[in-house]
Amino acid sequence: MDRKVGDRMFCVIDMDLDAKKFEKYKQLKEANPNIEYIVSNPCFEIWLLYYFTGNPKVVTSSQKVKEEMKKYVSDYEENMDIVKVKGLEEDYAIAINRAEKRNAMHDVDELYKLNPYTEVHDLVTLLLNYSK
């Protein structure tokens, strides 16, 4: 990996509201400093919810987040490209803004306690800037 030429490696992690996963994440991050970790809690779908709402609910599991997604996209499946299927390509800025605002409201340091929380918008912002 050569960051000078733009190589970067990312690992997207679902915390699943789990303190043990948080500890594993900290170990991975320390052992692999060249990898950039993108965390969501409880899961990646929190990021997708920001396309539809600025205030995703605090939930008790990743499954509950996926149930919330189905309220907005009745045929939602985990392998679905929501942005493409629902024509949300022009809504990146809205979702990014919503995620940033919500994350700014948290005052706890332990990622597994942040609910809902996502850093996916940071990666999306980076990718959008690369595509320009």
What are the backbone angles phi and psi of residue 126, rounded to the nearest 5°? -60, -45
CA–CA distance, 65 with 88 (Å, rounded to integer): 19
Looking at residue 61, its pLDDT comes to: 95
Q: What is the pLDDT of residue 113?
A: 87
pLDDT reported for residue 2 = 64
| The residue to which tokens 């189905």 are assigned | 70
Q: What number of other Cβ atoms are within 10 A of residue 14's Cβ?
A: 18
Q: What is the pLDDT of residue 22?
A: 92
Q: How many helices (H) and strands (E) does the chain have?
A: 6, 3
Ramachandran angles phi, psi of 38, nearest 5°: -115, 110
pLDDT number for residue 93: 96
- Structure-token pair, residue 29: 């991050």
pLDDT tens across the length of the chain (132 residues): 566 667 899 999 999 999 999 999 999 999 999 999 999 999 999 999 999 999 999 999 999 999 999 999 999 999 999 999 999 999 999 999 999 999 998 877 778 889 999 999 999 999 998 876
| pLDDT at site 130 | 83
